[in-house]
Structures are given as structure tokens and as C-alpha cells.
Amino acid sequence: MANSFDVIILGGGPAGYVGAIRSAQLGMSTALIEKEKLGGVCVNIGCIPTKALLHSAYIASLLREAKEFGVEAGAVKTDYGVAMQRSRKVSDQNSKGVEFLMKKNKVTVVKGAGVLQSGRKVKVGNDVYEAKKAVLIATGSRVKGLPQIGLEINKTTVISSDEALFLDKAPASMAIIGAGAVGMEFANIFHAFGTKVTLIEALPRILPLEDAEASDTLAKSYKKRGIEVIAGAKVKKGTAAKDKVTLEVEASGATQKIEVATVLMAAGRAVNTENIGLAECGVQVTDRGFIKIDQNLQTTAPGYYAIGDVAGPPMLAHKGMREGVTVAELVAGKKPHPIKYDNVPSVTYCHPEVASIGLTEDQCKERKLDYVAGRFPFSANGRARGTGETEGFVKILRDKKYGEIVGAHIVGGHASEIIHELAVARENEYTVEEVELAIHAHPTMSEAVAQAALDSLGRVVDM
């Protein structure tokens, strides 16, 4: 039967396409259904284009400081439109790359919106596809607005990252609501392109999920370069006019009016669970709207699995990718390595970068863990001094008795790359001693990791 496959995957984002490749590698006939471009939010309107834009922003800020390094660049002019076009090319290249991977692995790609049906079937238009082994739901998530306070996304003055990524020029002023990873990154990007940015966070500190020291370092860094940061703030009302938005913001007991050209909503995401036939197949959702899954990622309907953002937090591409691999292996009858959800690195690619894994220091205190914090600032690191990236630190939280690395937090240039040493260490249950014993090349930013490990043992060398 032409429309029969072992595995059918609904959604071609990171969870879906990686799951498709692994299924095909394991010899299962696989179909991937995607209504838009392959690669999903990540490749097209998320991870990838924002990294391209952040690099443009980085170059702009480098050039502004170039004189100090003996390089005259003259007056730096920026053009968001050009940066945006470049980011689109990068996204398209990546999306084509996914298409190529589907061909290479002989995954059948079906273009269209799929709707689940009972009996492990998915309907796309008038065609029905049947899965012999499993249906993987990987429909992902989208940005959400705050219509209840007048901030419905109108795509002109009140926008989401979806629109921000396609602007021809940077607005004169922008309020960003939500200082999680998305809000932090866009604040960084638009500020570098000349926008007057106000960053508003409801919780008491920006990057609320990160360690408090990381939040503090970033708040100082942003304020120093002229980004206004208002944390612990409540946006009481938003009024969108044709070319401006007025916000009423209450913070520290006072209400202020902020008038900006554009508001960027970065306050969380909603999962795509509507109109895909979940209820009809018996797939239940949790109180928070995620698809309910068991420890094998199977939904309440046998044969239907959920992976990626729809399957629950953390809503991160790399978590979804791993779930895709794991489900494919489970369906193929293998016994995959269990996913350690407490060992998923979290990265914000603003400058300086913020990367973390495991518990924050506050969480250690809440859990009454007997821990020791080891710290090392990049201001004491030779490589960082050389490149002028002395902002930030490495902090390692170790269990006092056994030296287990219970958490690690890095703020600094290339933190997103440095964190993986600690991810590998934690995955393999290396203690701070094993991390420190591995010889680190000199001079590197990564030396700060070894020094923080040493500091947690009370014998830091370079400070």
C-alpha cells in the first residue's frame, strides 16, 4: 500500500526531522508531514536566523570598539534590512539542508497540514496515511500575545519574533515584553542596530530561569550599554495606535507610561495542539496544555507518541531532537539511553552569552543541598583579557560530600560552546575532580571551567 509507512511523523521541526532520520536509519519506512518549510520554527523563524542576526549585532559592537584595538573602522553604519536578508539566506540554506537529509535517508516528505485519525492514521488533504508502528506528534509551538491587556499581536506595532525576523529596518524604539532567552536576544540585536530598547520582565529579575548571578551580570551589562531594563514589572495596559504603542507599566510601586514605536511580545509560547485531531484519537493534554506522555513518550493513545515542544518543557530544540531519536529507537524495539531532562543545557545567545546546566544556586538552597560554589571570573582569564571579553564568570556548584556537579553556570563570550564540557561531565557522572584533572589548553576561556572546579575544592590557582 502506497500510503502505508512504519512511522509517520507530524511536524518537520527539530524533533520531527531528527526522529525521521533515526527511524529511517533503523530500517523503518518513514513519512514526515510538514505544512510549511522543513526545519520548523528553529530553522526558519527561531534558533538559526536569530543567531545570524546576533552575529551581525556582534560585528557592529566589535567595530564600535575597534579603535581601542588599533583598528579604525570610521563611523559604523548598520542596516537591519541587509542583516535580515543574510539571516534569511542562512535559514533557507538550513531548510534545504533538512530537505537533503530527508532525501538522503529516504524519508517521504508530505507537504500539507496533517490531522490525526484513529487507527494510527493521518489525513493530509484527501489522502490518508497509515502507520504500521507509530505516529509521532511533533507539531511544536508558536509565540503568543497577551490579548487580555490589549497586546494582541497585530503584526505592525505589536509584533512577535515571527515579524521581528522580517523587518526591513530597525524601529526607532521598542519595548520587549519578557526577558527570557528570546527577549534578551532581540534586545541585544535591536540595540546594536540603533533601536532604543526597553526590556520589561514580570518576574523580579531578567533571565528568571537562570542563576541569580547570571541575571545580575546581564542586567548590569545591558544597563551599561544603554538598554533600559525594568524587572518585577507589570504591564497593566497596552494601547496600540497606528504607529506607536503606549504601555502602562507598574514597577517598584510606581506606574509609568512608556511610548514606543514597536512592542515585541516575548512572553512565552503556546503549543500547537489545536485542529490536529488529538481528542478524536484519544490523545489527552495536561492542565498546562502539553500532550500527556508516559516515560516512553507515548501518549494516552497507544501507538501515538509526542516529542518536542508539544510533549512539555523544556521547550528547546535540542531536547526535542533527543526525544526524536529516543522514540525512534523505542519504536524499533531498542533500549535507548534514558533522556536526562535535568541535564539539558540552556543557552541564551546574547552578548555576553549565558549558558547553564543543572540546578541554580537558589534551587540548591531550596532543596537544602550541602553544596559548595566554585567561581572564576573571566576578568582573571588571560584569553578573555586578550579578546576584551572579560565580562562574566564560570560558576560550578558541587555536592560537598561526593563532588557531584549539581549545576554549572557560565556567563561570557562563547559560553554556549564552553558549557558542553560540563554537560559531558554530568552525563557521565564525572565529579569536579575529573573535570579539573583533564588538562585544559592555555590560554583558553575553558580554563575558567577548570579553575572554577578547583575553586569549589578550595584550591583555585589563578586568582
Residues that are catalytic: 442
- Segment lying near other proteins (by CB under 8 A), choices 4-12, 129-137, 324-332, 396-404: 396-404
Measured CA to CA, the distance from residue 111 to residue 338 in angstroms comes to 32
Asked if 371 is part of the footprint of other proteins (rule: CB under 8 A), the reply reads: no
The pairing of beta strand 121-124 with beta strand 127-137: antiparallel
Q: How far is the CB of 335 from other proteins (least distance, A)?
A: 10
Near other proteins by CB under 8 A: residue from 434, 440, 457, 462: 434
Alpha helices in 65-201 (DSSP H): 80-104, 161-164, 181-192
SS3 assignment, position 252: coil
- Segment lying near other proteins (by CB under 8 A), choices 83-91, 202-210, 323-331, 427-435: 427-435
Q: How far is the CB of 143 from other proteins (least distance, A)?
A: 37
Burial category of 72 from C-beta neighbours within 10 Å (exposed 0-12, middle 13-18, buried 19 and up): exposed
SS3 assignment, position 231: coil
**Nearer Cβ to other proteins (70/338):** 338
> For residue 328, how many C-alpha atoms fall within 13 Å in the half-sphere facing its CB?
27
Q: How far is the CB of 428 from other proteins (least distance, A)?
A: 6
Asked if 369 is part of the footprint of other proteins (rule: CB under 8 A), the reply reads: no
Asked if 358 is part of the footprint of other proteins (rule: CB under 8 A), the reply reads: no
Q: How far is the CB of 461 from other proteins (least distance, A)?
A: 17
**Nearer Cβ to other proteins (69/402):** 402
Measured CA to CA, the distance from residue 167 to residue 355 in angstroms comes to 28
**Nearer Cβ to other proteins (168/433):** 433
- Report CA-CA distances (Å) from 158 to 58, 75, 214, 239: 26, 32, 29, 10
Asked if 456 is part of the footprint of other proteins (rule: CB under 8 A), the reply reads: no
Burial category of 25 from C-beta neighbours within 10 Å (exposed 0-12, middle 13-18, buried 19 and up): middle
- Closest listed residue to residue 45, CA positions, set 99, 91, 12: 91
**Nearer Cβ to other proteins (182/408):** 408
Asked if 436 is part of the footprint of other proteins (rule: CB under 8 A), the reply reads: no
**Nearer Cβ to other proteins (362/429):** 429
Measured CA to CA, the distance from residue 42 to residue 187 in angstroms comes to 19
Asked if 126 is part of the footprint of other proteins (rule: CB under 8 A), the reply reads: no
Amino acid present at 347: V
Near other proteins by CB under 8 A: residue from 366, 433, 459, 463: 433
Q: How far is the CB of 6 from other proteins (least distance, A)?
A: 26
The dihedral sign for the CA sequence 422, 426, 427, 428: positive
**Nearer Cβ to other proteins (43/405):** 405
Near other proteins by CB under 8 A: residue from 106, 224, 242, 401: 401
Q: For the window 332-351, what string marks contact with other proteins as x by the rule CB under 8 A?
A: -----x--------------
Amino acid present at 259: E
**Nearer Cβ to other proteins (212/344):** 344
Q: How far is the CB of 357 from other proteins (least distance, A)?
A: 15
Asked if 404 is part of the footprint of other proteins (rule: CB under 8 A), the reply reads: yes
Residue 128, by phi and psi: left (phi above 0), alpha (psi -120 to 50) or beta? beta
Rule CB under 8 A: which residues touch other proteins? Answer: 337, 401-404, 428-431, 433-434
